[in-house]
């Protein structure tokens, strides 16, 4: 199993020595994903394909419960948030004992916010208007606790100018909750520059790596992130209910989340009355009983990513998205995706009229993508997708536009 490389930009260009050999290995993993036999699955930025071994993992969970009853807690369930955290943490170079699992990013952001004091003059939360909205809702709600929100505007609706971001940071900044890769356009933010400036002014950085982990190589240690989080639904192919939170140990030991519970207590089974006595390890950032089945289900996806190697995944992703964008342009369509692969995550967008209806017409042809406001279709090959599948998708889009096959879906909204 390969370790995630310490970088957050594009790898060497496609065609570099060894690239095609690595691809062959990656495509060999197609057999692990049953849905690929019938479906052109290019919606990996939203819901990654299910590894076939998830059946075994969920059976393992159920069998343990069925046969061992209450003893299951001591035989894997109790430690599942930290053990699963250690496994997913290897994908982004988090040391063992620094990652815990929660249900989703929103809960994680809420938990981190609950550990902060919003006292002027250092009470500012700085984020960009292109963050995932759920993240904004959590931080906006902190206004009632004294937070001052600074929203960095995008100049083009696609990217966030790094200089604009840096200019928004100063000694009043408490925390910067930002996306590594933006969910709509797949713009890859310059985390390094933002972390450096944030630390110069004494602010914390919480990176939402949902759209990068498992697709874009990065190291939380090299980037010197204070905290990083994400979920497993997308590129990690881990399914819902398995969000991860990395926190630097030196910071963690100072955090006292108000959103807490007995799993975060230093002696949970002492059932002490009164105030929390926070644990002195990663469990400090837990709360109540974990979503155990989700954590069992998530592991197969992580193991496959580790087997594939994020560096290999990225090399293939850059080559495939570059090739797809060239074909999109040649077909006379436009894309708002960043042209520079070093600043692009794993998705590419294609502007089409009637996006939701086009998505539905594609789904009728068993080709799965989605669409989002302002950018159009989002198309995302993962390590198990072939060039032919991308060609099939674009050919179908062109046919649907030419024949107006989208018309019969025009009244329907998008369901995903
Ligand atoms: C960047 C990013 N953050 C967060 C989320 C979702 O947040 P949550 O885990 O709270 O559902 C998504 C997409 O669903 C996303 O793309």
Distance of CA 360 from the midpoint of ligand 1 (Å): 23
pLDDT mean across residues, the chain: 94
Residue 165: Cβ within 10 Å count: 21
Maximal C-alpha separation, the chain? 69
- Ligand 1: residue of 88, 108, 132, 186 to mutate (most ligand atoms within 8 A of CB) is 132
* pLDDT in the model for residue 374: 87
Closest CA to 165 of 140, 137, 129, 135: 129
What are the beta bridge partners of residue 179? 208
Ligand 1, atom nearest to 109 Cα: 10
Distance of CA 79 from the midpoint of ligand 1 (Å): 25
Q: Who's near 8: CB < 8 A, 6+ residues apart? A: 180, 188, 191, 192, 212, 216, 217, 218, 219, 222, 223
With bands split at pLDDT 50, 70 and 90, how would you rate the model's confidence at 12? very low
| Residue 379 main-chain phi, psi, to 5 deg | -125, 125
Tell the burial category of 210 from Cβ atoms under 10 Å away from its Cβ (0-12, 13-18, 19+): buried
| Residue 181 main-chain phi, psi, to 5 deg | -120, 130
Q: Are 81 and 286 in contact (CB under 8 A)?
A: yes
| Average pLDDT estimate for 97-121 | 98
Pairing status of strand 367-368 against strand 40-41: parallel
- Ligand 1: residue of 102, 183, 235, 345 to mutate (most ligand atoms within 8 A of CB) is 183
Distance of CA 66 from the midpoint of ligand 1 (Å): 33
**pLDDT of residue 340 exceeding 50:** yes
Ligand 1, atom nearest to 182 Cα: 1
Ligand 1, atom nearest to 131 Cα: 1
Q: Whole-angstrom Cα distance, residue 9 to residue 266?
A: 39
* pLDDT in the model for residue 355: 94
**pLDDT of residue 7 exceeding 90:** no
- Ligand 1: residue of 102, 134, 191, 378 to mutate (most ligand atoms within 8 A of CB) is 134
pLDDT digits (tens, 9 = 90+) for 21-55: 568 889 999 999 999 999 999 999 999 999 999 99
* pLDDT in the model for residue 415: 74
DSSP state of 22: H
Question: Which residue's CA is the closest to the ligand 1 atom numbered 8?
Answer: 105
pTM of the shown model = 0.94
Q: Whole-angstrom Cα distance, residue 110 to residue 137?
A: 10
Distance of CA 231 from the midpoint of ligand 1 (Å): 7
Q: What does the DSSP assignment read for 378-413? A: EEB--TT--HHHHHHHHHHHHHHHHHTGGGGGTT--
Ligand 1, residues at Cβ distance < 6 Å:
104-106, 132, 134-135, 179, 183, 208, 210-211, 231, 243
- Ligand 1: residue of 178, 179, 210 to mutate (most ligand atoms within 8 A of CB) is 210
Residue entry with tokens 């200019």:
167
């Amino acid at each position: 199993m390969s370790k995630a490389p310490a970088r957050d930009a594009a790898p060497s260009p496609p065609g570099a020595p060894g690239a095609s050999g690595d691809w062959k290995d990656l495509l060999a993993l197609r057999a692990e994903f049953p849905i690929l036999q019938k479906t052109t699955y290019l919606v990996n930025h939203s819901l990654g394909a299910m590894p076939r071994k998830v059946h075994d993992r969920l059976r393992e969970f159920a069998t343990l419960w069925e046969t061992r009853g209450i003893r299951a807690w001591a035989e894997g369930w109790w430690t599942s948030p930290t053990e699963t955290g250690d496994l997913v943490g290897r994908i982004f170079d988090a040391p063992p004992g620094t990652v815990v699992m929660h249900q989703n990013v929103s809960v994680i952001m809420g938990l981190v916010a609950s550990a902060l004091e919003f006292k002027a003059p250092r009470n500012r939360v700085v984020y960009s208007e292109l963050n995932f909205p759920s993240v904004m809702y959590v931080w906006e709600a902190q206004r009632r606790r004294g937070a001052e929100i600074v929203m960095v505007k995008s100049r083009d609706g696609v990217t966030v100018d790094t200089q604009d971001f840096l200019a928004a940071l100063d000694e009043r900044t408490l925390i910067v909750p930002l996306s590594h890769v933006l969910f709509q356009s797949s713009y890859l933010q310059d985390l390094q520059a933002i972390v450096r400036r944030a630390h110069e002014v004494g602010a914390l950085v919480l990176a939402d790596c949902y759209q990068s982990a498992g697709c874009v190589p990065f190291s939380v240690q090299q980037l010197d992130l204070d905290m990083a989080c994400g979920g497993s639904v997308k590129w990690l192919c881990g399914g819902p209910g398995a969000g991860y939170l990395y926190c630097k140990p030196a910071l963690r030991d100072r955090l006292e989340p108000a959103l807490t519970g007995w799993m975060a207590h230093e002696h949970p089974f002492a059932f002490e009355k009164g105030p929390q006595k926070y644990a002195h390890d990663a469990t400090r950032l837990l709360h109540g009983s974990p979503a155990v089945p989700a954590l069992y289900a998530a592991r197969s996806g992580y193991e496959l990513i580790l087997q594939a190697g994020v560096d290999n995944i990225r090399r293939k992703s850059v080559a495939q998205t570059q090739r797809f964008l060239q074909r999109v342009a040649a077909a006379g369509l436009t894309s708002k995706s960043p042209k520079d692969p070093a600043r692009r995550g794993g998705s590419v967008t294609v502007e089409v009229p009637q996006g939701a209806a086009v998505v539905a017409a594609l789904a009728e042809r068993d080709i799965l993508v989605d669409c989002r406001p302002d950018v159009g279709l989002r198309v995302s090959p993962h390590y198990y997708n072939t060039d032919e599948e991308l060609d099939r998708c674009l050919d179908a889009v062109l046919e649907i536009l030419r024949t107006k096959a989208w018309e019969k879906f025009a009244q329907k909204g998008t369901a995903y």
